[in-house]
Structure 1
């Protein structure tokens, strides 16, 4: 008798609420507690700053709607990686995953974990900066804790996501209410002549957008876990349409509260504007803002971790990463090898701690690959109109987002060229050195077989099939 064994697959455990929490929970991180003063420093005025925040929210919304069409057309996990692979081919997809796995994702995880750690230990070191070793140990503990949770159970990870999203929204609501009280009491001086001092040069606008978009990072996270989303053709667009307007509205109201309570000088001199706001408005309860920032960073770290592990998993399944990373636990149905690998690379980036400059110069690569992804969507809309699509956007939307992505990539290079951008480009292209011998020509195919077998037995994992 020929009995076909049922293949191991990741379970569909992410519903609409989980999808909203994944998007909003990842977006609302430490950015809204720290970025407003950086946006203000670059753009120069409160009014222009609010315009930047609104434009970034609109850009994130239009981009996520474009991604919703991609996610319902190419119903595979992996986000940009799988979309680039299906539309632009293997070489460019490998360069994306090489850059993402080697630097961008680990640096992002390490950065958010450090933000979480700084806010956790800050109350214990009120008179001096906390020691680096203490901060890094707490950051490492946060990564380990989330690695364990994500490896054990998808549902537990989603429950954490929902809880922390609620905590973040509550924290931002406190700031909004505080701002309303300030406005009712007539504190509108900082909002008068709100466009005075605006910087209109290309470099300042581009840098302000970069700082602001960091707070919106995560708008595309649900596309990384499409195969684990229940009814993706319905829930993917729906989650986007709920989460991103909610976050954008909260961000605008929070910024109005900051401007109603703090002078531009106070904001620009602050290292964490939410904490400064808390100390001024809440008085003895100002420490709540430090706690809120820590909770936000931890929740964002969980969302970044959850989606980042799936990128490695999908890339390994397509043959662009070691086979062991394409396996899932036989009982828990979690991609534990990919999650452990992501944690290990994050630890390597975390140890030296001097990675912020790397993140700054690699941030433009994200929009470079977003541009390639949007070109893929335009290709599918023009050349493959016959493909079944559960959701579509007008073609003008991806065109507008593509133009914005091109501006964000070129603006800092054209207006203020720096040699570091060349180094970044060379690093991305260096992925060809790995791709040509090991992926294209498949040299040394059995090089990692023994390690794979040992890890497979030790971790109790097996190859996982697509869940389509």
Structure 2
């Protein structure tokens, strides 16, 4: 058996380091870069499939809790859809102006330089992406196990083991083939749109029967505080999170100048309408108190409206959360890959499997971290922690769009949004980051900030100063990792 050497090819001005163990019959080499296998339909499915995941089945309780009444709750859901659409329009301009994968990483690099981009990749690769993966798979496990523990909460050990199993399966699928991962995404997106349609139609039937009392006097409730509105938006926007996912795989998108903005324009308004209608359907059946007390909102809805076919709801919710987890894993691997390619992460993360043309090391690394996060995980705490840092980077990306209007006038802009839109996103991001801290200071926010800036302790010796002993350790780690992969392939054969 011959062993392929490390090959370097230019990809959008950056070196891509590739290594794989080949079989005896050497295959004709395609370009050893990620292939353009994602079309418009798959792009829409990636956006819709990642956005509609666990959020719409978990966040309704939290949004209602912080908003205090049905009316403000529905307004916040609609406002979150508008914000997601405006943010995605900014990303449409950024993605067609800088056609590199990695989303915010590439945009922050172009606007502010390597330090800010590194802090984003450090925070996102190490915490935000794997914690989001963990959140979604924990939700998947909760819904998958609930039917087997009727009347009580599933044991924590069961949900965490199911979550870990889902992570391993999804990582394996994404390592095997980009097309296979896209097919999985397309299938589960169709499944989740089906269950959304079932819930909405059932809610319309209930309302047509005259059961509208839960929607009467919808704005009666306690006055909202600044911090409560911020937390309500946090949880609502968590359900919408995923509107920027297509920007992480720009290099794998066919005709990105056309398909990126078109997928955004089609996908995000579709999700927004679905979310508002689903929440109206929930309130057609449950009072606010009943919704807050429900361990699984969608399952409770199915039990009351669809009996004896109520088992359909938890089954398709499981499909929905699994599809969202697949989309999260798909994009997270690309960020780690691009960061490794630029020298901001361990070099092995930038390697591509020559057999499968997938960034397998980056995908496996993300999965390993996600499994670590499910051990102590509390879903609501993770959502708040996740949103705090995420919206800080969204704001920086929107500000980067404004900055590059003046500093990078030479860049081609196939899509150009009014500058007031990124300005609004910057202001909203500042509010979402600062309002909860001012209203109710907690140590978690300080821990998040400390972790983000602790990345500088690695950046300066390893990347800026290029200290020899530190870089030698990284090279040895990469070599040992490659040796492990080679041995695995040898014994597998």
TM-score interval, normalised by the smaller of the two chains: over 0.9
For 1:281 and 1:244, how far apart are their aligned partners in 2?
28
Q: Which residue among 149, 159, 184 is the counterpart of 2:183? A: 159
**Cα contact 1:362–1:424 (8 A) shared by 2:** no
**1:415-466, Cα deviation, whole Å (9 max, x unpaired):** 1122322222112111111111111111132323344234346547xxxxxx
For 1:257 and 1:355, how far apart are their aligned partners in 2?
24
- Give the structure 2 partner of residue 407 of structure 1: 431
Q: Which residue among 107, 116, 121 is the counterpart of 2:140? A: 116
**1:60-95, Cα deviation, whole Å (9 max, x unpaired):** 000001001000011000011111111111111111
For 1:317 and 1:445, how far apart are their aligned partners in 2?
15
**Cα contact 1:325–1:337 (8 A) shared by 2:** yes
For 1:133 and 1:267, how far apart are their aligned partners in 2?
26
For 1:451 and 1:103, how far apart are their aligned partners in 2?
21
CA RMSD of aligned residues (A): 1.8
**Cα contact 2:234–2:384 (8 A) shared by 1:** no
**Cα contact 2:238–2:383 (8 A) shared by 1:** no
Counterparts of residues 19-38 of structure 1 (less than 5 Å)? 19-38=43-62
**Cα contact 1:25–1:303 (8 A) shared by 2:** yes
Moved over 3 A (4+): 4-7, 352-356, 453-460
Counterparts of residues 306-455 of structure 1 (less than 5 Å)? 306-354=330-378, 357-443=381-467, 444-455=470-481
For 2:398 and 2:321, how far apart are their aligned partners in 1?
29
- Give the structure 1 partner of residue 4 of structure 2: none
Q: CA deviation at 1:131?
A: 2.4
For 1:104 and 1:356, how far apart are their aligned partners in 2?
14
**Local SS of the residue matching 1:329:** coil
Q: CA deviation at 1:154?
A: 0.3
**Local SS of the residue matching 2:308:** helix
For 2:379 and 2:453, how far apart are their aligned partners in 1?
20
Q: 1:180 to 1:111 in 2, by over 3 A?
A: same
Aligned residues: 458
- Give the structure 2 partner of residue 142 of structure 1: 166
Moved more, 189-198 or 307-316: 189-198
**Cα contact 1:34–1:271 (8 A) shared by 2:** no
**1:174-219, Cα deviation, whole Å (9 max, x unpaired):** 0000011011111111111111115332111111101100100100
Whether 1:57 and 2:57 are equivalent positions in the alignment is no
**Local SS of the residue matching 1:417:** coil
Moved more, 278-287 or 153-162: 278-287
For 1:354 and 1:273, how far apart are their aligned partners in 2?
18
Counterparts of residues 280-291 of structure 1 (less than 5 Å)? 280-291=304-315
Q: CA deviation at 1:6?
A: 7.4
For 2:376 and 2:292, how far apart are their aligned partners in 1?
28
Q: 1:333 to 1:84 in 2, by over 3 A?
A: same
Whether 1:99 and 2:123 are equivalent positions in the alignment is yes
**Cα contact 1:107–1:355 (8 A) shared by 2:** no
For 1:124 and 1:434, how far apart are their aligned partners in 2?
47
Query: Structure 1: 5+ residue runs without aligned partners?
Result: 461-468
For 1:189 and 1:129, how far apart are their aligned partners in 2?
30
Query: Structure 2: 5+ residue runs without aligned partners?
Result: 1-8, 10-28, 487-493
**Cα contact 2:135–2:382 (8 A) shared by 1:** no
**Local SS of the residue matching 1:370:** helix
Q: 1:95 to 1:355 in 2, by over 3 A?
A: farther
What TM-score results when the alignment is normalised by the length of structure 1? 0.94
Q: CA deviation at 1:339?
A: 0.5
